[in-house]
Structure 1
Amino acid sequence: MSADGIDLMIVLPAFAAGLLVLATHIPLGAQVLRRGIVFIDLAIAQIAALGVIAAGSLDFDPHGWTVQVAAGVAAVLGALLLTWTEKRWPDVQEAQIGVLFVLAATAGLLLLAHNPHGGEHMQDLLAGQILWVSYDQLILPAIGAVPILAVLAAFHNSLGRLGFYLVFALAVTASVQLVGVYLVFATLIVPSLAVRHYPERRRLPIAYLVGIAGFAAGLVLSVLIDLPSGALIVWCLALLAMLVHALGPDRPVPS
């Protein structure tokens, strides 16, 4: 397929979904790195995915608000549990996050064990189906992103442990269903890694540019060469992040 043949009716809603996810995940990813709890996003994303699977096993409408609620409740419960474990055993918090991720992932496998389409459903939740997102699916996540961005702007780096985990859980809930677990992790961590040695005032703008360019390149390539969009976006994000990091300062510099 030539570049002129790209179906913008497919690419543009997917790109809009990517922008919506990046809006909240770039600042959250910066805080994740600052707090040193890198794998929290995988754990919370997997718990939200478990909520989606549980809702599906109860025959809820896969595109209805009940699935959003189920995913949100699961993610918030996971956030509350991680808040408690960090307070109780802070020295092993990263290990506890890993254990919670494994438990959520295997619980999903058990719930889907007798579902004839279980493997396909699990793949959709992990790798996502961003290329087939519709504008209607973006309405609720867009509404939810507004208070999340407001809280992040108001409190910046002063969010407490519980507040951070709850905001994080709510942000991840919607994005998992839009782009999948892998892209949730990539959008949170990869752009922030790319700019960690840049002056602080430049980190967010450059991280946003890395994210936007990564989504755009991955979506266009997925249409041109007919490969899975989610996987291509992850690779585009990673390659762009490596380039941006290589072009940046060699060590932290004063803001």
Structure 2
Amino acid sequence: MFSNKIITTTFALLTTVTLLFVSCDNNSVTDPTTGTGTLEVLLHDAPANYEAVNVFVESVEVNNGQTEEGWVEISTPQQSYDLLTLTNGATEVLGSAELETGTYEQIRLILSSNGHSVIVDGTEHDMFVPSGEQTGIKLNVNAEIVPDITYTLLLDFDAARSVVERGNTQSGIEYLLKPVISATNEAITGNIAGAVEPVEAQPFIYAIANSDTLSSTKADTTDGTFKLIGLEEGTYTISVDPTNETYQSSDTTGVDVTIGETNNIGTVILSETQN
């Protein structure tokens, strides 16, 4: 059975970096508060026990002020994304734009009022978006844009917690889309990779620190490999939770994450459940 473990929303913080550019001709210093830098926004997903979760994104905006007038549009995807294809390190570029230097405090995704769906047992169901969500899903990011540097923002769209079922099998089940998203600055994260055997265990994998589940994915159904991305530096427990009840769960403790690196923990062998 799929294990509903709470994923703690984390927000990315980027330490302000001061860059000094010295001219070889006159030894002058360029003001690092002027010019432009690049903001790139990548979408990835925490898995869910559905066959597909389709979300339609109209636009992506950032804000460098405290008012509604401060929003700047960086992309207009006008596109549907199946979140469940964005696991195991897979990402989708939502947008990339040159921005004036400075701190962009918030990002928001504008979702369409319709066009969202979930597939359950081979049947596609429309997902209704509550009116409050249609005005934009806002996240605090404090992205510091500096000259000639690309700031890559990872948006983890948690499909399991974002799809809400309402009703029952007798009266009919309705599906709501109430997005749960966390944002992380890719520059201050690392990854954990590995594999699980046997493949037919079809497990979910969780990265846990201090009793909080900070990232999750599902092992590839063909070769059992997995990759957890966007993890801040630290030590984690990797919990493997099979959906096939024939096999037992397994925890690997003391798994370190280093910024900019992928720690491959090798193959986790699952034991069969004792009768």
Give the TM bin, normalised by the shorter chain: 0.3 to 0.5
Structure with the higher strand share, 1 or 2 = 2
Greater relative contact order (Cα 8 A, min sep 6): structure 1 or 2? 1
Structure with the higher helix share, 1 or 2 = 1
TM-score normalised over the length of structure 1: 0.32
TM-score normalised over the length of structure 2: 0.31
